[in-house]
Amino acid sequence: MGQRFSGQRALVTGASRGIGAAIAQRLAAGGADVAIVARTAERHDHLPGSLAETRERLAGYGTTVATVVADLTDEDQRATIVAGAVEQLGGPIDILVNNAAAAIYQPVVGYARKRRRITYEANVFAPMDLADAVVPAMLDRGRGFIVNVSSSTASVWPGPPFTLTSPGTSTGMYGSSKAALVRWSNALGVELYGRGVRVNAVRPKVAVLTEGAQALVGETIRPDQLESVEQMVESVVALCDCAPEVTGQVFASLDLIAAWGLDVRGLDGQSLVKQPSA
């Protein structure tokens, strides 16, 4: 298990905290050299975690860790990400995990143009641009993995009548961007099928127990509406070395784990961990 990703180079966006930092740790624990990407290198003024802290945690696994600071909503800045990662890691990217997202929750009526642009730049155009940058080298080598992290908010609400609970329609714009990400993931997987590059999307089945979600437990999120970070990460890393025929697919984390009979391991890639049931 410890060398599952040995000799591979991975790039993970949104890796300063939460799911992205956990994915990066699991890949490094599996032997991968990892480039971690976020908008700033140091701690946010009110959010936990930073690229510097993630880098320090990953360094303990003895693999190469590269840090790339870039704002994914800025086209010029994100154009430097893959080149910077390749330079620091010493070779082309084998695994791309598009995890970063801009989630601005408010009703779609009156949703400001600037916020729409930020949402789609981060959640749709950035994954597209990063994929465009890594795919040529993947095709040259005949092997590569692209995993796009989606959201259950991409699903449409059934009705009418509509019986929405909090946060209601405030996830609509964010969800529409994730729906676009899912459809593009499928299209890219179809186009690259048979050429060694797998492209898949995966979403949490329920809310992931990150630092932010923990603060809401007992308020708007019930314990049975949660999955652990380790469960979400297990589903992502499963798609980072999946079979050639697994491509162009869209998965829910817990469903994938159950269907594939996966053991959920800690972020060290070794220990088995007891998981909450959804």
120 among known catalytic residues: no
Q: Residue 46 gets which letter from DSSP? A: S
Tokens in use for 50?
């930073």
For range 218-230, the mean pLDDT: 72
Extract the runs of DSSP E, i.e. beta strands, from 162-208.
197-203, 207-208
For range 137-147, the mean pLDDT: 98
In a domain, 114, yes or no: yes
In a domain, 271, yes or no: no
For range 194-215, the mean pLDDT: 81
Q: Confidence band (pLDDT; 50, 70, 90) for 217?
A: very low
In a domain, 276, yes or no: no
In a domain, 270, yes or no: no
In a domain, 16, yes or no: yes
Q: How far apart are CA 51 and CA 142, in angstroms?
A: 31
Q: Say which of 61, 105, 120, 174 is annotated catalytic.
A: 174
Give me the pLDDT at residue 12, please.
98
**The domain that contains 72 carries what CATH number?**
3.40.50.720
Over the stretch 229-252, which tens digit does the pLDDT of each residue have? Answer: 999 999 999 999 999 999 999 999
In a domain, 199, yes or no: yes
In a domain, 274, yes or no: no
In a domain, 265, yes or no: no
Give me the pLDDT at residue 212, please.
52
Give me the pLDDT at residue 214, please.
52
Neighbours of 220 (CB within 10 A): 12
Q: How far apart are CA 268 and CA 139, in angstroms?
A: 30
Query: What's the chain's average pLDDT?
Result: 91
Neighbours of 93 (CB within 10 A): 25
Report how many domains make up the chain.
1
Domain containing residue 95 = 9-260
Edge to edge, the sheet with strand 65-69 lists 65-69, 33-38, 9-13, 95-98, 144-149, 197-203, 249-252
